[in-house]
Amino acid sequence: MTAPAIEIRHLSKSFGPVRAVDDLSFTVAPGRVTGFLGPNGAGKTTTLRMLLGLIAPTSGTATIGGRRYADLDRPLRTVGAALEAADFHPGRTARDHLRVSAPKAGAPDSRADELLELVGLREAANRRVGGFSLGMRQRLGLAATLLGDPPVLLLDEPANGLDPEGIRWLRDLLRSLAAEGRTVLVSSHVLAEVQQTVDDIVVISRGRLVHSSPLSELVALAEHRVRVTTPDRAGLLALAERAGWSLTAGPDGSAELSGVDAATVGHAAFTAGLELHELSARGASLEDVFLRLTAVTEGATR
């Protein structure tokens, strides 16, 4: 399968005074699972809604294989999307829900039962969706996105409400869909939830891109953090800026540098004649890195 890439270019969206998405650019490659991460209100759902043509961008573009969603020949056979709060008709059974949507997606009736089996809802096929738990709704939403066998999948917080077994199941499913060559974009506000699922990661905060790389590069960042204390704060800031290290202020006058190891910092400080009172390497969990990345821009935009 040769799936199209998703391209977000200088995308912005304002709701009155709120700049929900702010000059955002990133690419989602086929054959990989891309995690779209950011805290609540970061602009993830707004971005996905623009990609699906549900709302118009204030500026910039969001395209699939170079085309806007509205210009796709067969949108439901190209893109399967499950946004948050999918509204299912509560009186309909799970099977009927899929059967009703099947013709639009060009799928035969039999696809409904196949998909219910795939998402673990076979036994609930004849139950009304109104009585479904959050996790069951997520599974049904996922089944609906797969109806048209689309090469592109957009899933907004699909792990919400899933139990640990469900999260593992979702991981295996998304990995196998990407292994078939599909383009898979999955949003989450919890890195730990998708850490074992994604190949690439795009982190946004307050509508802006704060990080985009293969997951492995974020892991490398997690392993390199250095705590520094110095009486010459301005000197440290200048050094960090010259070297391109990101610097976070600690509460006790210390500073934390990331993306660099202690030896490099020590050497650079020595060369610059910068007095250091403390220099220590610190490990950080990936979640720490995520929190720091998203916190830095919050500070910067306030």
Ligand X SMILES: Nc1ncnc2c1ncn2[C@@H]1O[C@H](COP(=O)(O)OP(=O)(O)OP(=O)(O)O)[C@@H](O)[C@H]1O
| Residue 138 lies near ligand X (rule: CB under 6 A) | no
Should residue 294 be labelled a site residue for ligand X when binding is judged by CB under 6 A?
no
Interaction between residue 192 and ligand X (CB under 6 A): no
The reply on whether position 34 binds ligand X by CB under 6 A is no
Query: In the window 40-69, what residues touch ligand X (CB under 6 A)?
Result: 40-46
User: Considering beta carbons, is residue 44 or 292 the nearer one to Mg ion?
Assistant: 44
45 binds Mg ion (CB under 5 A): yes
Measured from each CB, the residue nearest to Mg ion is 45
According to the binding rule CB under 5 A, does residue 188 interact with Mg ion?
no
Q: Which of 6, 11, 20, 146 binds ligand X (CB under 6 A)?
A: 20
- From residue 66 to residue 95, what is the string marking binding to ligand X with x (rule CB under 6 A)? ------------------x-----------
Q: Closer CB to ligand X, residue 202 or residue 255?
A: 202
CB of 190 to ligand X, least distance (A): 9
46 touches Mg ion by CB under 5 A: no
* Shortest Å, Cβ 39 to ligand X: 7
CA distances from 177 to 1, 42, 67, 150, 299 (A): 11, 27, 22, 10, 38
Which residues of the chain form contacts with ligand X (CB under 6 A)? 15, 18, 20, 38, 40-46, 84, 189
